[in-house]
């Protein structure tokens, strides 16, 4: 709303916004951001290999080195840099949940060297093994159960085929949930070509099932850097087929098209981008005047934000701590650093289990909210000696320092829900006098000379991503939002969207929410004509002004 | 008091309302909002992207008209909103005030027909329910206008009920000071630099002990103040006396007539050798008067601070018409104030209001809360904490999904109407509970309104011959059906939180601090920062209001280190959030 300094009025459009956002909303995202810094321009692939100059990428590298170990069958070369630029909670699902269970790691031939044909004789795809299609189909069917919103969308919009004629090229994680999205887009009339936004996250059998059903998919689990770009290129560069929509997660695809096929943009009606980083890159393009098509930022839609941060973290904090430490929460003293959306979710969950929760904050408004919600607002130093669990969700760096770690009591648990791996100064614990003992996956005991132990989870990386899962319901919110954004951009009358980055219209946001209400058997009340008139609203929404805070 | 004058004024008022009505078609409202700075950010999605399903251009202005404070979900009793409802609001208020009048029925009933209060912010309506003048000298029927009074320093530039009550008033003010530590801290912090030195503030608000603390704070910061009341009933006479004794030019007493009301305002403004340069308004009457009578005065005025929804709406209309010739600050929509007026205040007053009126026990009771905006969220949280089984009705799917995720069953009202023990409305809408539902409620069901004026429950439909009304205590009616079924109707469908509960001083402190900071900001802003438009309080000031209230909770705010601030790209002292940040 009106900021006195007039130039900030259009803030939602400004690139700077995304940067600021890292506080609460997006912090966790950026964890998965990998080298998603916009500074990493893609032409300089080399720079990708040399440690990227900004702090975030570097840390991410560390994180991915870990991931690599978990996927240790793959050549380590590719592992040095993660290709995922995706950072939204929901887009990172596949790290933690279902990996390819039919992973045929015995077959070491690169998919690029194989010629495969699906049952209809098409060979316009490149996946690990087309024979896994049946397994993949089962995965997709399971996912469909939990994604009733997309299925409802299929049914509601199938008659009118709002995407008839759309040629969508997509670059996202390729998982069963994405497959449901892709097949929904196809059911609505679109043609799709798809590639992966992350070299590890592809579920091979799902990719096979999609290929079998006629979607041109170029992705497999454990691609190399070179494979990654080759797949993207194969998606775009086809004789006689030019995309007119882009669905991106991380901005790699958009970047590739910009670099290699700028002419393709002449036909493109819009870009839908779901990740913080990708959105940030779009804002930078827009600022530089180089964005030549409309782009839709679905990351910041209200519904998606609420689920990615508040609701998801509210559950995963308990889940993550239980899985790793089997701690009992009742009566435990817990300090939550940061009272943004993530912090609010953590505090609510812990309070409900009877924990005594303290909060630290830097923002007086959020601090006042914490007070009014019944939490003691303290400085970390005041309670560090007495707390049993420390949870960081500030989006900041070095919130828990060595000095504080030194003063913690024996057996206290330290974990990070916020942002990358910057919040806990883990590096400071790598000193000779401290002994590290890995007691189980993702759990380290750090032992002081006097025998005091501090339990560090996920080495300071994101607990919710490393030690918990993202429910399909949350992914359903994201996928539905993406589908509606595509429909909106594709059907928008000439001139509604200029060459700029837009937020999803409030009405579509509301529609995403309404499609998910059925899951709760929730019955929405409808306005009578008289009431609608009284409120000056359309009976079908939008019901709130854009600045409404929910 | 001249009857003719009153009649003339009333005609003018009617005319004004009529004009509003005529003006308020969606198109105009829309363009106004689009022209105002507040509208800007939302224009992006509202106008450029009206949504797949709304290709109709007519709807777009409607959408942008909504950019104003949203009464439906957040207004304690916001009754001015988008489109045609503005004109309706004063009339509803009239009804409400007709009731108020009965409570204050020592006054001539003539003036009760039109309420002079256009204030609607939760915190600005405090005085209806809480401390009335306990030294009310109703035996003294001389109009203050006919009295000559002087304070102990020999100054007679004020007009109040009785200057001798000053001591009582001072005690009231001192009590209020205890609970308004933020203003006291502001006094201390800013006293050295006197940020309001040279400011001549003319104010029109409720005159209560809390306002007095605000005025004395402004004075301590260097301002000169002249004050009138924004409501003919709400003045605490002894507080006004204490202020007058302290050297403030106060023109207000409890139970003014319409004529008195405007006379007081006029006396505030119209003074030889003194011209105001700041306006602090609550309801827009003062601003309106200056526009009508002393338009030249605006040449010297640096800005208007307005706290009520209605006043803000009037400012937006002025701005739309291109008639706003000074910057105005909308403090009603500041984040901190909104949270306290709606969420936190209602979370407490729903329990308080129900307990005071009905002594109901909440545990295990089935309650349906209509609307899950800020007020609804507060009510639900409080009731759930008491062990009630809470159902929610909503029209907005996003809020509905929030209710689901917070663990409330989302239903339509008619699905649960037969089984619930309590019905609470907080939609901002009209006729949410209609006669048909009332007919189907079970015996002893409690019906009350937390939302909006008195429109949500269709009380008029209960005024039929077959139903018996029985007033069992103040604000509590039993409506009895022919078969003996009783419904417990609270406050005749008016706002429970205002009628049957109090507004804590802490909430008023938030508002007063916000007003003080807005005045400081406008007064000290460099040339050109604010144009002739309506602005929101800068985020940084909003955060400062919150920080001034943290000591109350012994809350210790963490400071960013230089390194951390750099990492986040923030200034160590704020603002910490972008303007669109939602705070939940």
Nearest to A199 by CA among A102, A79, A89, A56: A79
User: Which chain B residues in 33-72 lie under 8 Å from chain A, judged by CB atoms?
Assistant: 36-38, 40-42, 44-46, 48-55, 59, 62-63, 65-68, 70, 72
Q: Which residues of B touch A162 (CB under 8 A)?
A: 52
pLDDT category at A107 given cuts 50, 70, 90 is low
**Residue B31 pLDDT > 90, yes or no?**
no
Lowest-confidence pick of A182-186, B20-24, B222-226, B410-414: B20-24
Q: Are A253 and A39 in contact (CB under 8 A)?
A: no
A505 interfaces chain B, CB cutoff of 8 Å = yes
Cβ A523–B73 below 8 Å, yes or no? no
pLDDT level of residue A109 (50, 70, 90 thresholds): confident
Q: What are phi and psi of B536, to 5 degrees?
A: -90, 155
Out of B55, B72, B396, the one facing A510 most closely (by C-beta) is B396
Residue B497 — very low, low, confident or very high, per pLDDT cuts 50/70/90? confident
Which phi and psi (to 5°) does residue A433 adopt?
-75, -15
* pTM metric for this prediction: 0.73
Tell me the HSE value of B477 on the side-chain side, using a 13 A CA sphere: 19
Q: In this structure, are residues A171 and A236 in contact, taking their beta carbons and an 8 Å threshold?
A: no
Q: Which fold has domain A311-467?
A: Rossmann fold (3.40.50)
Which among A321, A345, A316 is positioned nearest to A332, based on CA atoms? Answer: A321
Of the candidates A16, A303, A496, the beta carbon closest to that of B49 is on: A496
With respect to CATH, is domain B144-337+504-558 assigned 3.90.79.10? no
According to the model, what pLDDT value does residue B140 have? 64
Residue predicted with more confidence, A348 or B48? A348
Closest chain A C-alpha to B177 CA, distance in angstroms: 20
Name the strands in the sheet holding A245-248, side by side, starting at the edge strand that comes first in the sequence: A216-218, A191-196, A167-172, A245-248, A270-273, A295-297, A501-503
Instruction: Average the pLDDT over A300-320 and give the result.
Output: 91
Chosen for mutation from A306, A534, A539, A541 (greatest number of chain B CBs closer than 10 Å) is A534
Query: Which ranges of B283-390 would DSSP assign to H, the alpha helix?
Result: 285-293, 309-320, 335-338, 345-358, 374-385
**Domain map of chain B by residue range?**
144-337+504-558, 344-500
* Chain A: residue whose CA lies nearest to B49: A505
Which residues in chain B are closer than 8 Å to A531, comparing Cβ atoms? 429-432
Give DSSP secondary structure letters for B129-177.
HS---TT--TT--S-GGG-----TTS----B-S-GGGHHHHHHHHHHHH
Which of A13, A510, A531 has its CB closest to that of B398? A510
Q: Topology of domain B344-500, per CATH? A: Rossmann fold (3.40.50)
* Token pair recorded at residue A58: 């570097």
Spatial neighbors of A514 by CB under 8 A, at least 6 apart, are: A524, B397, B400
CA distance B323 to B287: 12
Q: Which of B23, B29, B34, B41 to mutate to test the interface with A (most CBs of A within 10 A)?
A: B41
Query: CA-to-CA distance for B214 and B253, rounded, in angstroms?
Result: 18
> Number of residue pairs across A and B with CB atoms under 8 Å?
322
Per CB-CB distance under 8 Å, the chain A contacts of B534 are 2
- As a whole number of angstroms, the distance between CA A398 and CA A394 comes to 10
- Tell me whether residues B65 and A536 touch, CB distance under 8 A: yes
Q: Which two tokens stand for residue A297?
A: 């930022």
Q: For residue A473, what is the nearest residue in chain B, using CA coordinates? A: B405
Inter-residue contact B311 to B281 (CB < 8 Å): yes
Residues in chain B with CB shorter than 8 Å from the CB of A523 are: 410-412, 415
Question: Best interface-test mutation with A: which of B21, B57, B63 has the largest number of A CBs within 10 A?
Answer: B63
Chain A contact set for B430 (CB, 8 A): 530-531, 534
Per-residue pLDDT of B528-559, as tens digits, reads 899 999 999 999 999 999 999 999 999 999 99
Q: Is pLDDT larger for residue B498 or for residue B209?
A: B209
Question: Any alpha helices (H) in B321-419, and if so which ranges?
Answer: 335-338, 345-358, 374-385, 397-405, 413-416
Cβ contacts of B68 on chain A, cutoff 8 Å: 545
Distance of CA B157 to the CA centre of its chain: 29
Mean pLDDT, range A337-366, rounded to an integer: 95
| Nearest chain B residue (CA) to A523 | B411
Of A397, A505, A525, which is closest to B567 when you measure between CB atoms? A397
In this complex, is the C-beta atom of A362 within 8 Å of any C-beta atom belonging to chain B? yes
C-alpha dist (Å) from residue A32 to A29, A56, A138, A316: 6, 10, 28, 16
**Identity of the residue in B42, B83, B531 whose CB atom sits nearest the CB atom of A536:** B83
- pLDDT value, residue B454: 85
CA distance A74 to A332: 42
Q: Test A12 with B397 for CB contact under 8 angstroms.
A: no
CA distance A48 to B28: 54
Over residues B525-534, the pLDDT tens digits come to 998 899 999 9
Find which of B45, B85, B88, B527 to mutate to test the A interface (most A CBs within 10 Å of its CB): B45
Percent of chain A's residues with pLDDT above 70: 81
Interface of A with B in 212-251 (CB under 8 A): none
Q: Establish if B573 touches chain A: CB-CB under 8 angstroms.
A: no
B395 contacts A505? CB cut-off 8 A = no
Question: What is the per-residue pLDDT for B554?
Answer: 93
pLDDT band of residue B486 (cuts 50, 70, 90) is very high
CA dihedral A71, A74, A77, A82 (to 10 degrees): -40
| Arithmetic mean of pLDDT, B242-255 | 94
Name the residue facing A536 among B74, B81, B531 (closest C-beta). Answer: B81
Phi, psi for residue A193 in degrees, rounded to 5: -125, 135
State whether residue B560 sits within 8 Å of chain A by CB: yes
More confident residue, A45 or B501: B501
Calpha distance A516→A509 (Å, rounded):
11
Instruction: Determine the Cα–Cα distance for residues B143 and B513; give it in Å rounded to an integer.
Output: 33
A113-304+470-520: CATH, from 3.40.1410.10, 3.20.20.70, 3.40.50.1480, 3.40.640.10: 3.40.50.1480
What number is the average pLDDT over the span A356-360? 97
Peptide bond just before B575 cis, omega within 30 deg = yes
Distance from chain centroid for Cα A76: 25
Residues 446-465 of B with CB under 8 A from A: 455
Instruction: Select from A18, A310, A549 the residue whose CB has the most chain B CBs within 10 Å, as the one to mutate to test that interface.
Output: A549
In the predicted model, is pLDDT for residue A268 greater than 80? yes
Chain B residues whose CB is inside 8 A of the A547 CB are 38, 41-42, 67, 580
| Interface list for A 415-434 with B (CB within 8 A) | 422
Residue A20 reports pLDDT greater than 60: no
Residue A17: which of B70, B574, B578 has the nearest Cβ?
B578
**Residues with Cβ within 8 Å of residue B322, at least 6 apart in sequence:** none
- Whether the CB of A511 is below 8 Å from some CB of chain B: the reply is yes
Give the residue from A363, A396, A493, A500 with the most B CB atoms within 10 Å of its CB, the best one to mutate.
A363
B positions 10-39 inside 8 Å of A (CB): 26, 29, 36-38
**Each residue of A120-152: pLDDT tens digit?**
989 999 999 999 999 999 999 999 998 999 999
- Given the cut 0.90, state whether the ipTM is greater than it: no
Whether A396 contacts A423, CB under 8 Å? yes
Of A104-108, A182-186, A297-301, B59-63, least confident by mean pLDDT is B59-63
Same fold, A113-304+470-520 and A311-467: yes
Shortest Cα–Cα distance, A519 to chain B (Å): 10
């Amino acid at each position: 709303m009106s900021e006195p300094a007039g130039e900030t009025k259009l803030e939602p459009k400004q690139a700077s916004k995304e940067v600021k956002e890292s506080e609460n909303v997006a912090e966790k995202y950026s964890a998965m951001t990998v080298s998603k810094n916009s500074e990493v321009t893609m032409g300089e692939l080399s720079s990708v290999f040399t440690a990227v100059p900004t702090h975030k990428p570097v840390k991410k590298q560390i994180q991915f080195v870990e991931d690599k170990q978990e996927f240790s069958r793959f050549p380590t070369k590719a592992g040095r840099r993660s290709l995922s630029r995706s950072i939204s909670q929901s887009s990172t699902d596949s790290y933690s949940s279902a990996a390819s269970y039919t992973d045929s790691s015995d077959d070491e031939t690169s998919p690029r060297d194989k010629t495969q044909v699906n049952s209809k004789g098409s060979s316009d795809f490149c996946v690990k093994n087309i024979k896994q299609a049946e397994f993949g189909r089962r995965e997709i069917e399971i996912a469909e159960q939990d994604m009733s919103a997309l299925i409802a969308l299929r049914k509601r919009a199938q008659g009118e085929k709002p995407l008839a004629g759309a040629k969508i090229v997509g670059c996202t994680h390729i998982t069963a949930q994405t497959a449901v999205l892709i097949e929904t887009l196809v059911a609505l009339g679109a043609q799709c070509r798809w590639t992966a936004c992350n070299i590890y996250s592809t579920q091979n059998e799902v990719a096979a099932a999609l290929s079998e059903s006629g979607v041109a998919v170029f992705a497999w689990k454990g691609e190399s850097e070179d494979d990654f770009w080759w797949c993207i290129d194969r998606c775009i560069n086809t004789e006689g087929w030019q995309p007119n929509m882009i669905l991106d997660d991380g901005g790699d695809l958009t970047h590739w098209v910009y670099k290699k096929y700028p002419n393709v943009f002449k036909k493109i009606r819009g870009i839908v981008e779901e990740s913080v980083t990708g959105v940030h890159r779009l804002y930078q393009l827009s600022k530089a005047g180089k964005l030549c098509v409309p782009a839709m930022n679905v990351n910041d839609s209200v519904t998606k934000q609420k689920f990615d941060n508040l609701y998801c973290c509210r559950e995963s904090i308990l889940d993550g701590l239980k899985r790793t430490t089997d701690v009992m929460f009742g009566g435990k003293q817990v300090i939550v650093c940061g009272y943004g959306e993530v912090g609010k979710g953590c505090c609510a969950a812990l309070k409900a289990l009877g924990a005594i929760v303290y909060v630290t904050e830097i923002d007086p408004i959020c601090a006042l909210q914490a007070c009014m919600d019944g939490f003691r607002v303290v400085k970390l130093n005041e309670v560090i000696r007495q707390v049993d669990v420390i949870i960081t969700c500030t989006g900041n760096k070095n919130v828990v320092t060595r000095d504080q770690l030194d003063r913690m009591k024996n057996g206290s648990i330290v974990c990070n829900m916020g942002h990358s791996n910057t919040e806990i100064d883990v590096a400071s614990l790598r000193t000779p006098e401290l002994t590290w003992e890995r007691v189980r996956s993702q759990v380290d005991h750090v032992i002081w000379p006097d025998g005091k132990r501090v339990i560090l989870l996920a080495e300071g990386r994101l607990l919710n991503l490393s030690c918990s899962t993202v429910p399909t319901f949350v992914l359903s919110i994201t996928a539905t939002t993406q589908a509606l954004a595509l429909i909106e951009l594709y059907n928008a009358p000439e001139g509604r969207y200029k060459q700029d980055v837009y937020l999803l219209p409030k009405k579509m946001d509301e529609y995403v929410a309404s499609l998910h209400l059925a899951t709760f058997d929730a019955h929405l009340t409808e306005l009578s004509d008289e009431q609608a008139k009284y409120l000056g609203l359309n009976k079908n929404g939008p019901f709130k002004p854009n600045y409404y805070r929910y």
